[in-house]
Structure 1
Amino acid sequence: MSKRIVVLGAGESGAGAAVLAKKEGFDVFVSDLSGIKPKYKELLDAHAICWEEGHHTESDILNADEVIKSPGIPDKAPIIQKLKAQETPIISEIEFAGRYTDAKMICITGSNGKTTTTLLTHHLLTEAGVDAGLAGNVGNSLALQVAENPHPVYVIELSSFQLDNMYNFKADIAILLNITPDHLDRYNYEMQNYVNAKFRIIQNQTEKDAFIFWNDDPIIAREIKKHNPKATLYPFAETHEEGTKGYVENNQIIVESENGTFTMEQDLLALTGKHNLYNSLAATIAAKIMDIHDDKIRASLKNFAGVEHRLEKVARVRGVDYINDSKATNVNSCWYALQSMKTPVVLILGGTDKGNDYTEIEALVKEKVRALIFLGVDNRKLHTFFDGKINQIEDAGSMEEAVNKAYRLAQKGDTVLLSPCCASFDLFTCYEDRGDQFKACVRNL
């Protein structure tokens, strides 16, 4: 009898995992507590895969030999608790897909910047002619690509939730950008649990592999001493420190690797801001390890278009710039956004709080923010922290209300910045929906 694989969650990762499992000859069943999007139903039906939506039939799930879990399902979900109690193995889609490919894996994680770095790394490779797939939190399901459209190289954005259920998978090149508090609601409000998840990116690495990381992150520095990575280390920093392989000197980006030293004028980078300097250094180190030609790297760093919903310039209305940073779903992301602002700011923040500590942005808010607009169902925590620190604070129950208030409060030469610090699920379906609504409201001004 064939091994039974149950896939929980039928989004991009779950549907892809189901297709690969079916191709490999397993008995496959897909169950999603929510509704399944029509395109994924069509994909499952096309491969004759059984599925259910809107509920979990426990008898069809608890008999699994192995479960592939969507990263969005928390461990405290009742069905996961029951599977754990009977010691059914639970893995991620990435872990499962890794069993059926020997492709080179470039894996990127971090609390902030991972999407930009993933897309930039993929851009550097593909522009140089490398056949590289894009997977994980961006691009298409890794499992689906392995099943139907395999590539010799994959660039994969990994969240802590995906890393949680990865055991034997190995990154040939691992990039860890930074670690700041995020998703603590999923880690029992224990920062170390979240840190441990991030450091799973280097598990199983050998001397032949590479570990790229930000040298000045205090948490990474502490954890590296504990983990003693086997991989070749490629630390990067803003300035040339002892041992750094990527840095800036005399306004030149410099990256040292076994494949030679890369240099480029920093001013020529398409991406601006300190956080994007780090993202560019990390991606460039990966490209050099992959032996991409310097001229190709330079051209790609100059023409990279950036990421939607990440410090995205929307419009200038009556001398006021409107910037969509909806992807800033934690406090540290907002810190980077505020740090890059050169004008007075009207800041829109708020949403579903994930255990946020706003102390990190307090000094920048006092220095740069003219007015605050709290966009959320429950803004009490924001008021408790910021009331009395900024003169103008207003609440908004919809994006239209928030943008209209920002329009009224902003003065010529200001920037209206949507950088929410929070998840979007109280008023929006996702951060993309929040950003799209912001852009639509701004364009209607």
Structure 2
Amino acid sequence: MTETKKIAILGAGESGVGTAILAKKQGFEVFVSDFGVIKDKYKKALEELAVAWEESGHDETRILASDLVMKSPGIPDKAPLVKKLHEKGIPVISEIEFTSKYTDAKIIGITGSNGKTTTTKWVYHLLKNGGLSVGMAGNIGDSFAKQVAEENFDWYVLELSSFQLDGIVDFKPHIAVLTNITPDHLDRYNYNLNEYVASKFRITENQSADDFFIYDADDEIISKWIKENPVKSQKLPFSLQDRMEQGAYIEDNNIKININNTQFIMPTSSLKLEGKHNSKNAMAASTVAQLLRIRKETIRASMEDFQGVEHRLEKVLKINNVLYVNDSKATNINATYYALDSMSAETVWIVGGVDKGNNYAELLPLVNEKVKAIICLGVDNAKIFEAFGNCVDMMAETQSMQEAVQMAYKIADKGNTVLLSPACASFDLFENYEDRGRQFKDAVRKL
């Protein structure tokens, strides 16, 4: 790929501008094209780079004259321009694929429907505390490309979405982590779960017997796929249910990790993050640390003091003995399942947004048990009303976060919890899940 000189970059967000920085450094002729309006900070970066760019549309003639195209993860393969590029035989790859050619650093790739951000940050926290030279990128912080252009780390911890994995060819993490698979983003995968599962498993497709695959052995979708599609790397499963000869499990309220006749033990009670899902995230993260021979004392200390992730079961405030919890990062059913499962008080649940093919039936037992009222926050809430109309005494529709929070304030009694856990994408009323979570926190603070 080094002989390629003309690269077109579709999308001028974090990954697009990062790729432009690295591509320019590697001697490419760079053209950046965004169908929407480019944010000012990214325009400034492109102008400082002195690369050609355009916004509010694509110059197809110029793009189709490229040797290589890097497509931002938000652009679907079905987009007309992407189809034309494929027809012409022009390689269309992701930032992750492009960047991996220009670093000798070892890569830990983390994917999954839920838990990948928490696990990525936890692994980074462990490795940094263990004294390793490590960067964190992917869906977090500065792009992988920008860091490879400007830094010189020995290791990278990458949070990888299925969209990023769709655009790989040779990308190969030394350690791959798959936290779980539940139906998500099915609108991008022809409403076909197998296509989505195949996309997640691309993280392992270039691995060899010298590499490692850490995964949730309790996840039926993952277990079924592994039986039918052998993985070449060394498997290190983790489980809440079964004892693992090699891998991680929980026994007598202790996390136990066995790797090559070495055992690490730590009580689950010392984890700051609550819930079964965080026990799994902890097992995945500490398995990576154990594999890299970080000192056991360092692992224990790093597991205990890790604070978690903003917008993921984040306790915001207690007002009149009512706890307000921000779980805006719950953009699918499984994430909301974990959130509701971890509620110990009667809950006023704020839910809704852009439905990605959700099956709400999975939440019925938890809603019956824990939820006293539902506040819908989205443009179209028909499916939510249909699913839960007979479960709770009160359901209401709102069109703004402030309205939703004020309604929750009126409904909630002392000892209740108000939980924002939307189970949906945010793009109908908000810029993204971070914007949604920040608006929730602001509205709570104004009560």
Name the TM-score, length of structure 1 as normaliser. Answer: 0.98
Shift of 1:259: 7.6
SS of 1:323's equivalent?
Answer: strand
Alignment of 1:20-99 (within 5 A): 20-99=22-101
Shift of 1:99: 0.5
Alignment of 1:22-421 (within 5 A): 22-258=24-260, 260-421=262-423
- The whole-number CA distance in structure 2 between the counterparts of 1:2 and 1:346 is 56
SS of 1:233's equivalent?
Answer: strand
Q: Is the 8 A contact 2:246 2:260 kept in 1?
A: no
Shift of 1:2: 6.0
- The whole-number CA distance in structure 2 between the counterparts of 1:150 and 1:51 is 28
Amino acid at match of 2:321: G
SS of 2:379's equivalent?
Answer: coil
SS of 1:403's equivalent?
Answer: helix
Offset from partner CA, 1:58-115 (integer Å, 9 cap, x none): 1111111110000011112121121122121100000000001111100000000000
Shift of 1:242: 4.7
- The whole-number CA distance in structure 1 between the counterparts of 2:261 and 2:410 is 54
Sequence identity, in percent?
A: 54
Which deviates further from its counterpart, 177-186 or 37-46? 37-46
Offset from partner CA, 1:184-210 (integer Å, 9 cap, x none): 000011111100000001011111110
- The whole-number CA distance in structure 2 between the counterparts of 1:391 and 1:178 is 33
Query: Which residue in the other structure is 1:430 paired with?
Result: 432
Q: Is the 8 A contact 1:259 1:291 kept in 2?
A: no
Shift of 1:240: 3.8
Q: Is the 8 A contact 2:22 2:148 kept in 1?
A: yes
What is the count of residue pairs matched by the alignment?
Answer: 445
Q: Is the 8 A contact 1:259 1:289 kept in 2?
A: no
Q: Is the 8 A contact 1:375 1:397 kept in 2?
A: yes
SS of 2:8's equivalent?
Answer: strand
Shift of 1:148: 1.1
- The whole-number CA distance in structure 2 between the counterparts of 1:358 and 1:267 is 32
Which deviates further from its counterpart, 328-337 or 224-233? 224-233
Structure 1 alignment gaps of length 5 or more: none
Structure 2 alignment gaps of length 5 or more: none
CA RMSD for the aligned pairs? 1.1
Shift of 1:389: 2.2
Shift of 1:49: 1.2
SS of 1:133's equivalent?
Answer: strand
Q: Is the 8 A contact 1:258 1:289 kept in 2?
A: no
Amino acid at match of 1:82: K
Runs of 4+ residues deviating >3 angstroms: none
SS of 2:375's equivalent?
Answer: strand
Q: Is the 8 A contact 1:215 1:244 kept in 2?
A: no
Shift of 1:391: 1.5
Shift of 1:406: 0.5
Shift of 1:239: 3.6
- The whole-number CA distance in structure 2 between the counterparts of 1:39 and 1:4 is 24
Offset from partner CA, 1:220-276 (integer Å, 9 cap, x none): 001111221111110000144354510111111111113821111110112111000
Q: Is the 8 A contact 1:324 1:439 kept in 2?
A: yes
SS of 1:130's equivalent?
Answer: coil
Q: Is the 8 A contact 2:238 2:244 kept in 1?
A: no
SS of 1:102's equivalent?
Answer: coil
Amino acid at match of 2:35: L
- The whole-number CA distance in structure 1 between the counterparts of 2:246 and 2:406 is 47
Q: Is the 8 A contact 1:121 1:284 kept in 2?
A: yes
Q: Is the 8 A contact 1:348 1:419 kept in 2?
A: yes
Shift of 1:139: 2.2
Q: Is the 8 A contact 2:4 2:67 kept in 1?
A: no
- The whole-number CA distance in structure 1 between the counterparts of 2:70 and 2:293 is 35
Shift of 1:47: 1.7
Amino acid at match of 1:187: Y
